[in-house]
Amino acid sequence: MRRFRVCIAVIAAFVLAQAACSPRPYAKTNKQHKQQVKAIAKMLRTYPQANTVETAPYWVGTTNFGIRKPNYVIIHHTAQNSCEQTLRTFTMPRTQVSAHYVICKDGTIHQMLNDYLRAHHAGIGRWGSNTDLNSSSIGIELDNNGFEAFPTLQMESLLRLLDTLRHRYNIPAANFIGHGDIAPTRKNDPNWRFNWKQLADSGYGKWYTDTTGLVPVYNDTLALKLIGYDIRDTVAAINAFKRHWLQDSTPGMNEAARKVLYGVLLAQ
């Protein structure tokens, strides 16, 4: 019996290895993806019927419309141990999590969803008055377990992708933000090692100038709210702010941090 179990384990490992080496390892979930897209397209082809929510005796369809487009980019780290692990997670229906793009450590970019479709990446969060970031944003996941730096090849691919998205959808510079910014009580990604200044220098996100002559802001809550943070948990909002603009994971504010807070506020 023991030998039988060992043989079964060896066969299972072999089958998994064969699947991983297949030129189409995600053929099954790709088929399901196409079926879901077709279902959405079918729904879009259904025109509004008269006497559903309107009171007019007949339907009048406008000729002036287009498809909604994304206006934010939310950057994440995967909090998993490999790109392949994340791809598997995002193709398992039971997880109900996804993203538009996954960027591996070697710079490989996987586009997993059309930019116009709604991915399940942002979850419950808020930025300014926007409380449904999933419906207005593109989610980008960086292969990173949350405790390591982001490799040069990965950052270069991210910058190329951001350039494409910014020009394709005319996304404002201030609307390139992190998951930890929109959900500070739940998330801290991308972690404090992420180089937000590198992005801001390329036009993706706002940054502050020299803070030498700035007077520190002493109303932390108001300043954070004006930038966009959800201030219902001020401590979490401060921590998220410091991760983003100071690459600092320590709690609390000081005079230097308040000067940066004012600098960021001026840059909005």
Asked if residues 181 and 240 have their Cβ atoms less than 8 Å apart, the reply is yes
pLDDT per residue, tens digit, the chain (268 aa), is 444 343 444 444 434 444 455 578 899 999 999 999 998 888 888 776 655 666 677 777 888 988 889 999 999 999 999 999 999 999 999 999 999 999 999 999 999 999 999 999 999 999 999 999 999 999 999 999 999 999 999 999 999 999 999 999 999 999 999 999 999 999 999 999 999 999 999 999 999 998 888 888 789 999 999 999 999 999 999 999 999 999 999 999 999 999 999 999 988 8
Q: Residue 258 half-sphere exposure, CB side, CA atoms within 13 Å?
A: 12
Residues 124-131: contacts with CB under 8 Å, at least 24 apart: 124/183, 124/186, 125/179, 125/182, 125/183, 125/186, 125/187, 125/230, 126/182, 126/183, 126/230, 127/72, 127/177, 127/181, 127/182, 127/228, 127/229, 127/230, 128/228, 130/72
Asked if residues 157 and 109 have their Cβ atoms less than 8 Å apart, the reply is yes
Q: In the block, which residue shows the tokens 């419906």?
A: 135
Amino acid 16: pLDDT = 43
Q: Can you tell me the distance from the alpha carbon of 123 to that of 75, in angstroms, rounded to the nearest whole number?
A: 13
Terminal Cα-to-Cα distance of the chain (whole angstroms): 69
What's the one-letter identity of residue 164? T
Burial of 49 (0-12, 13-18, 19+ CB in 10 A): exposed
Q: Which of 121, 117, 115, 113 is nearest to 186 (CA)?
A: 121
Domains and CATH numbers, the chain: 69-206 (3.40.80.10), 208-268 (no CATH)
Q: Can you read off the two tokens belonging to residue 128?
A: 């300014």
Asked if residues 199 and 259 have their Cβ atoms less than 8 Å apart, the reply is no
Q: In the block, which residue shows the tokens 């030998």?
A: 3
Asked if residues 69 and 169 have their Cβ atoms less than 8 Å apart, the reply is yes
Write the CB contacts of 45 (distance below 8 Å, at least 6 apart in sequence): none
Q: Can you read off the two tokens belonging to residue 192?
A: 């404090």
Q: Can you tell me the distance from the alpha carbon of 192 to that of 147, in angstroms, rounded to the nearest whole number?
A: 9
Give catalytic residues, as residue numbers. 141
Q: In the block, which residue shows the tokens 């690459």?
A: 247
Amino acid 41: pLDDT = 87
Q: Can you tell me the distance from the alpha carbon of 176 to that of 201, in angstroms, rounded to the nearest whole number?
A: 12
